């Protein structure tokens, strides 16, 4: 039985731009583990330093001024990851998560060592944890995504990659998927040319520009709320949300034209 729910029509679209983590590669869980390792260690150290006992697991709402214990509760792999760090540039994720706990740190400098108590220092620590996770466990792709990319290329539809991660080249190399994409705009490119991260559409629009296509005739494929918002704000012709985290309603609310569980539900037509 044909499971296709969405058809990308060559007559309507010239290109498809994929997000990396959670869409092409199964790295969202790796990122989440690295974020949790970073924040749990930092919050525990902060609790010990301030003499505050961390609160238990709770909702991800920002704490009030008298809620110091709850502010230091462990990082939630579902709510905190989805709301504050998923799909965002590393330093933005640090800043947004800490703000949700009422914590503000100086930005610091990208050269800050992982042990320094700055946004950049914590972000660099997260990067070290991510690299360690990849080295230990490796990275896998989603076979249905790779199959869809081959269908698109065979149909003459251009394929680009957009990722907030500065580890994109390493992940593509590990998974052998570098040659699948004509154009790549990642965290390294964003830093070089000064592009803001998601939910700002700038990185997606730059990918479309480098592909030589109009946003209105391009498709964005995203699993993160911030990425779906970026696709919608950028005026892309079709935004496909991939529900990897049980947030179909939220993806639709963020601006996805259609939400699928897996890209096996997406086909290509003339």
pLDDT digits (tens, 9 = 90+) for 171-217: 999 999 999 999 999 999 999 999 999 999 999 999 999 999 999 99
Q: Which of the 8 DSSP states describes residue 64?
A: -
pTM of the entire predicted model: 0.79
Radius of gyration for the chain, computed over Cα atoms and rounded to the nearest angstrom: 19
CB 60 within 8 A of CB 76: yes
Using DSSP, state whether 195 is helix, strand or coil.
Answer: coil
At residue 201, φ and ψ (nearest 5 deg) are -80, 5
Q: Which of the 8 DSSP states describes residue 82?
A: I
> Helix H segments across the chain?
28-50, 68-71, 79-80, 90-100, 119-137, 143-154, 168-175, 187-193, 202-211, 225-233, 248-254
Please report the pLDDT score of residue 3 as a whole number. Answer: 64
Q: Work out the pLDDT band at 67, boundaries 50, 70, 90.
A: low
Using DSSP, state whether 21 is helix, strand or coil.
Answer: strand
Q: Which of the 8 DSSP states describes residue 264?
A: G
Q: Are strands 183-185 and 258-260 parallel, antiparallel or unpaired?
A: unpaired
Give the largest CA-CA distance in the chain. Answer: 64
As given in the structure block, the two tokens for residue 56 are 């238990």
127-180: pLDDT as tens digits: 999 998 888 888 999 999 999 999 999 999 999 999 999 999 999 999 999 999
Please report the pLDDT score of residue 64 as a whole number. Answer: 47
Q: Just list the catalytic residues.
A: 19, 21
Which domains are present in the chain? 6-26+139-269 (3.40.50.1000), 29-136 (no CATH)
User: What is the C-alpha to C-alpha distance for residues 65 and 86, in angstroms, rounded to an integer?
Assistant: 26
What element of type H or E holds 16? strand 15-19
Q: Work out the pLDDT band at 21, boundaries 50, 70, 90.
A: very high
CA distances from 220 to 104, 111, 190 (A): 33, 33, 18
User: What is the C-alpha to C-alpha distance for residues 215 and 206, in angstroms, rounded to an integer?
Assistant: 10
At residue 176, φ and ψ (nearest 5 deg) are 70, 30
100-121: pLDDT as tens digits: 999 999 999 999 999 899 999 9
């Amino acid at each position: 039985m044909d499971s296709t729910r969405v058809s990308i029509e060559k007559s309507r679209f010239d290109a498809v731009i994929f997000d990396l983590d959670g869409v092409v590669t199964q790295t969202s869980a790796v990122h989440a583990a690295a974020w949790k390792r970073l924040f749990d260690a930092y919050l525990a150290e902060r609790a010990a330093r301030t003499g505050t006992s961390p609160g238990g697991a709770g909702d991800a709402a920002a704490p009030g001024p008298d809620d110091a214990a709850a502010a230091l509760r462990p990082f939630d792999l579902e709510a905190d990851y989805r709301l504050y760090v998923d799909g965002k540039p590393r330093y933005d994720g640090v800043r947004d998560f800490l703000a949700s706990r009422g914590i503000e740190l100086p930005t610091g400098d990208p050269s800050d060592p992982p042990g320094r108590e700055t946004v950049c220092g914590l972000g660099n620590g997260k990067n070290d944890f991510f690299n360690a996770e990849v080295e230990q466990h490796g990275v896998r792709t989603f076979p249905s995504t790779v199959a869809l990319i081959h269908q698109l290329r065979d149909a003459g539809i251009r394929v680009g990659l957009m990722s907030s991660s500065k580890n994109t080249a390493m992940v593509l190399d590990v998974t052998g998927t570098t040659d699948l994409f004509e154009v790549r705009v990642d965290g390294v490119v964003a830093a070089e040319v000064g592009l803001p991260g998601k939910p700002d559409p700038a990185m997606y629009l730059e990918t479309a520009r480098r592909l030589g296509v109009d946003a209105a005739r391009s498709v964005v494929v995203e699993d993160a709320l911030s990425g779906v918002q970026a696709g919608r704000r950028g005026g892309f012709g079709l935004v496909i949300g991939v529900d990897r985290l049980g947030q179909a309603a939220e993806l639709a609310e963020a601006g996805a034209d259609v939400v699928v569980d897996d890209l096996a539900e997406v086909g290509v037509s003339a």
